[in-house]
A and B are shown apart, each in its own frame.
Chain A
């Protein structure tokens, strides 16, 4: 694949390195000449000095034949424009933008950016996981499906402990995938599976139904 990476910061650097290791053809576009030189010294001549939001620069690096453009500068607005120029001017099939403000995800998707990656959200999710009292953890979003994978912890005092899955009124859009047990075997739940204290339930749900699912599982 031919991949263009806009932005030569730490994210850009390690991304280019990883993509090169996987055998892809990669060009990095970076505005700062000194950063560019440092990258070329380390990774070979993979860095082009220029503004990745500018049509002239993107023409020069052959964006019209790129399979993917990934914009990972530290500024959301620059990443947005780089992706939009790539998409609308050069018809790049896939554009990926790094975002700092998680709110921008909706906007970017609306404006044609195929994938957004929010460093802030990722860190927040990891913090959520580390906070044991947090009742619902977002494990991942399944792209373009409106579905997400979540983990819900069953506290010992939950009203549902001892009940079977059949007795729960789960929201329609949700599916229980796995019970991770503190003691005993992890199991793929059936309607007869009994909920035990401190089970970790992995479920497939939608952002709209997750609240209802949490309430149903914990009997709140």
Chain B
């Protein structure tokens, strides 16, 4: 599959590594070239400096042929905007968006965006850990 990831933080870089290892073609976008130092040795994907909320940058990353788009920057609004561009302008078949604010996540999932919130997931996990 052709996968575009926006945001090369800890999650983005790790996911990119895992997906290329599985044989997918991965392009990862970040506004800061320093973040590409996070890749583990042997990363075979493409890393591009660019803003994922900018249509031109997304085109350079190959969004028009992408099967999947992940929005994984630290900013909820940036992720929301990029995900909506991918979905509504470029018609990417599958768009997955991280939103930390649970209320915002709820709203956008009712608007048809595939979203997940690490906040709730992590809290839930910790609770389950405590309850054994």
Contacts and interface: CB of A to CB of B under 8 A. Distances in A.
Interface of A: 53-56, 75-78, 80-81, 84-85, 88-89, 101, 103, 106-107, 110-111
Contact of B89 (A80, A85, A107): A107
B108 to A, nearest CB: 8
B77 A55 contact: no
A53 B81 contact: no
Contacts of B110: 88
Contacts of B80: 77, 80-81, 84
Given A80-B80, A80-B81, A110-B88, A85 B53 contact: no
A151 B54 CA distance: 31
A103 B51 CA distance: 14
Contacts of A78: 77
A200 B107 CA distance: 50
A88 B78 CA distance: 18
List 10 A-B pairs, minimum CB-CB distance, nearest first. A77-B81, A77-B77, A55-B103, A81-B77, A77-B78, A78-B77, A80-B81, A89-B107, A81-B80, A110-B88
A22 to B, nearest CB: 30
A84 to B, nearest CB: 8
B85 interface: yes
Nearest to A51: B101
Contacts of A85: 104, 107
B115 interface: no
Contact of B104 (A81, A106, A107): A81
Contacts of A111: 84, 88
Contacts of A75: 77
A76 B107 contact: no
Contacts, number: 52
Interface in B34-61: 53-56
Contacts of B123: none
A76 B51 CA distance: 12
B81 A76 contact: yes
Contacts of A84: 80, 107, 111
A56 B77 contact: no
Contact of A54 (B53, B56, B81, B104): B104
Interface in B72-125: 75-78, 80-81, 84-85, 88-89, 101, 103-104, 107, 110-111
B51 to A, nearest CB: 9
Nearest to B53: A77
Contact of B77 (A80, A101, A106): A80
A54 B106 CA distance: 12
A80 B84 CA distance: 11
A81 B111 contact: no
A103 B55 contact: yes
Contacts of B75: 77
B81 A81 contact: yes
Nearest to B79: A77
Q: Which of B54, B55, B75, B81 has the most CB of A within 10 A?
A: B81
Nearest to B51: A101
Nearest to A59: B103
